[in-house]
Structure 1
Amino acid sequence: MADQVMVRKLSACETMGSATTIGTDKTGTLTENRMKVTKFWLGKELVKEADASSVSLNIIKLIQEGVALNTTGSVYRETSVSDVEFSDSPTEKAILSWAVLEMNMDMEEIAVLLTLQFIGESNFGVNEKVKDTLIFNTFVLCHVFNEFNARKLEKKNVFEGIHKNRLFLGIIGTTIVFQVVMVEFLKKFANTERLSWGQWSACIGFAASSWPEKPFFSYLKWKK
């Protein structure tokens, strides 16, 4: 289906098929020449953009993973203070901008997950199910690394006092343990495959690559 196809009845989109996204303009006019996500459905429940904060964090993570693995667009930001730019069709740009700007999706995670999605099977020599497990595992580990950045957003040294924060260390440890159990022992329940030591190391390496460099430089500066 071509991009920006105009139809008078939405039922026509259902009949034609092959439409992953349907964007509508209730006024019938295109005022800004761009599309924007204003509401979305979770199952049969309609959620407006303004009410997105009420969605649980686990659901948000699944939405972010779905956007990252199903988009053909790209995200670019020249510097940390530059505006985020999105490329591809209007619908893809709308979904990406919604995920990144409204759902606080990490752009480094997008790059890592897309890399695994497109080169995982060929580079690792694994089947599709193992590749999906690698992606799922890396996605969770990305969030584990980003938990450190979220500790003290206003501080340069995110490691300060970490050994005293038992609650934080407990959350990190519990997340990692649950992830190991889910991948290695609950594969039928979670629809995953067991990973080798090398594959686990690769997941950790990919997840670490999504971690902004600031904590490392801040840590080195703090040590000096």
Structure 2
Amino acid sequence: MHSFCSFLCFFANYASGSAPLTAVQLLWVNMIMDTLGALALATEPPNDELMKRAPVGRKGNFISNVMWRNILGQSLYQFIVIWFLQVYGKTIFHLDGPDANLTLNTIIFNSFVFCQLFNEVNSREMEKIEVWEGILDNYVFVTVIGVTLFFQIIIIEYLGTFANTTPLSFAQWFVSVFFGFLGMPIAVLLKKMQI
């Protein structure tokens, strides 16, 4: 996903002349995907299904075909969302005036973060569709998601100067969360593809 963030910024910068994510925003997204995501997913309790899998030898692939399917599918979806917002966001949200670019980039950043949050939930199970099962049993996972959500609200609503964001309206928040949530049915479709 790091290369995806880089590609996104390169493409958006090429298409519009300015990158939608600032350095501080990229650091936050990387922290969500790396540190917090790894902490949340590494604390998933083991289950009996893991013991039924065939062992993987030393020469086995570190990233399985199922993982590649999920990574590429979610990356493509997120790219489409960010591209769509970059191209049509000002029209959809009726943005004009001196703060139009700042507001649009904040919506893009917020949508991208929510895509990562919902993707963390999807990543709890690589092949199973029921990803919500037992989620409340892992208090570390729930805490990490809750803390990430809390800080995302703080970053958007109160750290505008530092994070280069601006407070969003209810409709803009709703669309950001909705785009993130749409990653869930996309994940179901991906998991139904047999690889």
* TM-score after normalising by structure 2: 0.59
Unaligned stretches of 5+ residues in structure 1: 1-56, 73-99, 219-224
Q: Kindly, what percent of the aligned residue pairs are identical?
A: 33
> Contact 1:117/1:131 (CA < 8 Å) preserved in 2?
yes
Output the amino acid matched with 2:79: I
Unaligned stretches of 5+ residues in structure 2: 16-67
- C-alpha displacement at 1:67, in angstroms? 4.5
**Structure 2 counterpart of 1:136, from 106, 109, 119:** 109
Output the amino acid matched with 1:109: Q
Higher strand share: 1
Larger radius of gyration: 1
- C-alpha displacement at 1:122, in angstroms? 1.5
> Contact 2:4/2:75 (CA < 8 Å) preserved in 1?
no
**Structure 1 counterpart of 2:6, from 63, 76, 90:** 63
Deviations 1:3-57 (A, max 9, x none): xxxxxxxxxxxxxxxxxxxxxxxxxxxxxxxxxxxxxxxxxxxxxxxxxxxxxx7
Q: CA separation of 1:139/1:209 partners in 2, compared to 1, >3 Å: closer, same or farther?
A: same
* RMSD, aligned α-carbons: 2.8
CA distance in 2, matches of 1:150, 1:64: 22
For 2:167, the equivalent position in structure 1 comes to 194
Q: CA separation of 1:171/1:61 partners in 2, compared to 1, >3 Å: closer, same or farther?
A: farther
* TM-score after normalising by structure 1: 0.52
User: What secondary structure sits across from 2:184 in the alignment?
Assistant: coil
User: What secondary structure sits across from 2:124 in the alignment?
Assistant: coil
Higher helix share: 2
User: What secondary structure sits across from 1:211 in the alignment?
Assistant: helix
- C-alpha displacement at 1:214, in angstroms? 4.7
CA distance in 2, matches of 1:68, 1:162: 36
CA distance in 1, matches of 2:141, 2:184: 18
- C-alpha displacement at 1:171, in angstroms? 1.1
